[in-house]
């Protein structure tokens, strides 16, 4: 996971006396297992939705199964955020937790959304009676695999950067893999019905390719890791949080789609603002006689 696991702490790693500690802390690891279970469920649901769509099931039936896969990825993102924060609060982070987290993430946020993107956005066009030629099929294989490998590279780079002594905790470098998976899940949750036209499928592959590029880019994204939940806040913050939670609950399709899209584009906006914003003038040199 990209928000937790400090490898210099001790959760199943090296003990204070140089001895290997064989146990792990259960609570943070349970959330990581939850992430893994959600990813596995999303993969199975994507296969099932594709089978139903190809068998001629009603769009509401197959779309509901794809929506379940998207919701599972969203729930995995929630688990992924909790396990790191709990590990830090319990001072129970470690090398084991970081590696276990990364393995779970590549399943839940790499493989699962790539399969969902292919099954929901491309498979219906490939199996149509008047479907396009092999170009779309090959392009879909390449782009969905690119999403997986770019996500894996993003996780590897994060793990390397996290052990550096000096890092800016305010920002991630590159789009975090849970956010990339969140965009795919949010689009499927919003639209639900499987795509059935070649132009829509090509456009969808363009979106997946863009997400792959953003994950391995050098764009900065806010990490929100510096937010201290234990500090006192104005009561208006609680009101705004309550309204946001209610909006997500009552209007989950447009709300989650907007949140995922805005965050994915925020790195580009930050880069443009940093280029346009004038740099502060250099201090004037004072000559001493």
Q: What is the CATH number for 102?
A: 1.20.120
| pLDDT tens-digit map of 235-286 | 687 788 888 888 888 888 999 999 999 999 999 998 888 887 755 444 444 4
Over residues 137-157, the mean pLDDT reads 93
Q: Is residue 281 part of a domain?
A: no
Q: Is residue 31 part of a domain?
A: yes
More confidently predicted of 122 and 232: 122
Does the pTM exceed 0.85?
A: no
Residue 247 burial (CB count, 10 A): 15
Note whether 194 and 61 are within 8 A (CB).
no
Q: Is residue 9 part of a domain?
A: no
Residue 189 is predicted with a pLDDT of 95
Closest CA to 94 of 30, 167, 24: 24
Q: Is residue 12 part of a domain?
A: no
φ/ψ of 222, rounded to 5, equals -60, 135
| pLDDT tens-digit map of 16-62 | 444 434 545 677 788 889 999 999 999 999 999 999 988 888 888 88
Handedness of CA 192, 48, 177, 175 (dihedral sign): negative
Q: Is residue 138 part of a domain?
A: yes
Q: Is residue 110 part of a domain?
A: yes
The proportion of the chain whose per-residue pLDDT surpasses 90, expressed as a percent, equals: 42
Question: Structural domain of residue 160, as residue ranges?
Answer: 26-276
Torsion of CA 63, 69, 71, 74, to 10 degrees: -140
The end-to-end CA distance of the chain, in Å, is: 58
Q: Is residue 288 part of a domain?
A: no
Note whether 226 and 170 are within 8 A (CB).
yes
* Least confident span in 64-68, 109-113, 168-172: 168-172
Number of domains in the chain: 1
Residue 13 is predicted with a pLDDT of 42
Q: Is residue 208 part of a domain?
A: yes
Residue 165 is predicted with a pLDDT of 58
């Amino acid at each position: 996971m990209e928000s937790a696991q400090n490898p210099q702490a001790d959760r199943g790693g090296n003990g204070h006396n140089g001895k290997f500690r064989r146990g792990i802390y259960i609570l943070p690891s349970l959330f990581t297992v939850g992430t893994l279970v959600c990813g596995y469920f999303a993969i199975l649901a994507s296969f099932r939705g594709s089978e139903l769509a190809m068998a001629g099931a009603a769009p509401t039936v197959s779309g509901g199964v794809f929506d379940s896969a998207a919701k599972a990825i969203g729930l995995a993102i929630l688990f992924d955020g909790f396990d790191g924060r709990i590990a830090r609060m319990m001072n129970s982070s470690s090398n084991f937790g970081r590696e276990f987290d990364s393995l779970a993430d590549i399943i839940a946020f790499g493989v699962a959304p790539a399969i969902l993107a292919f099954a929901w956005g491309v498979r219906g066009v490939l199996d149509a009676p008047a479907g396009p030629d092999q170009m779309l099929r090959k392009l879909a294989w390449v782009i969905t695999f690119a999403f997986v490998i770019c996500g894996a590279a993003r996780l590897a780079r994060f793990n390397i950067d996290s052990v550096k002594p000096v890092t800016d905790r305010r920002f991630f470098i590159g789009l975090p893999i849970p956010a990339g998976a969140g965009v795919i899940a949010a689009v499927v949750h919003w639209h639900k019905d499987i795509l059935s036209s070649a132009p829509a499928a090509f456009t969808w592959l363009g979106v997946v390719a863009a997400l792959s590029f953003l994950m391995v880019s050098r764009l900065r994204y806010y990490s929100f890791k510096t937010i201290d939940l234990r500090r006192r806040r104005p009561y208006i913050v609680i009101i705004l949080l309550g309204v946001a939670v209610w909006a997500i609950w009552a209007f989950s399709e447009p709300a989650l789609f907007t949140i995922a899209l805005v965050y994915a584009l925020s790195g580009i906006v930050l880069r443009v603002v940093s280029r346009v914003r004038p740099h502060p003038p250099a201090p004037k040199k004072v000559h001493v006689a």
